[in-house]
Amino acid sequence: MAEGSFWKTAPGVLTAVAGVIAAVGGLLAILFQVGVLGGGDEPPPAASGVASSSAVVSSTVRFCIGAGTGINLNDSLDVAFEKMSGLEIARSDPALSAGGKATVKVHLTSGKDLSGTITSGCDFFAQTDVGRYSLYPDRLVKIEFRR
């Protein structure tokens, strides 16, 4: 078998081009997913809807599939959505960033407020009158719980 560069054969060139296209496509998908490309500073329309006018029934809200029906505040206190009248995101690291945290203020039905951090690596999802929301803390401003 003769030695030579694979660039001199059609199958070699096609394989190389396909590899580059797949790598670039994968990189773009990841950058869009984590918000580096495409999102800007403006929250998407769904986040605006939750923040400004939509309220959700607390029993339909979930966070971080494993945690389920509440949040784990400061990695130590489990607070159920049923005990909340609202939740505000003051700031958040980008979604899915390693060790990322979001600073939150929790309004309890008792009238008391709690502040602390939650992971920014999980999303909130809820069923509303408009449809199903799924938002990471970096795209969410506020959730109001309807009773």
Span 89-124, pLDDT tens digits: 999 999 988 999 999 999 999 999 999 999 999 898
Sheet holding 101-108, edge to edge: 55-57, 142-146, 84-92, 101-108, 113-119
Q: 39 pLDDT exceeds 90?
A: no
CB 99 within 8 A of CB 144: no
- Whether 50 and 111 share a structural domain: yes
Structurally, the chain folds into a number of domains equal to: 2
Query: Regarding predicted confidence, which is higher, 45 or 77?
Result: 77
- Which position has the higher pLDDT, 2 or 28? 28
Tell me what percent of the residues of the chain surpass a pLDDT of 90.
Answer: 35
pLDDT tens-digit readout, 56-91: 888 888 888 755 789 999 999 999 999 999 999 999
Residues 49 and 34 placed together within one structural domain of the fold: no
Q: Phi/psi zone of residue 22: left (φ > 0), alpha (ψ -120 to 50 degrees), beta?
A: alpha
Residue 2 lies in a domain: no
Query: What is the domain extent for residue 14?
Result: 7-40
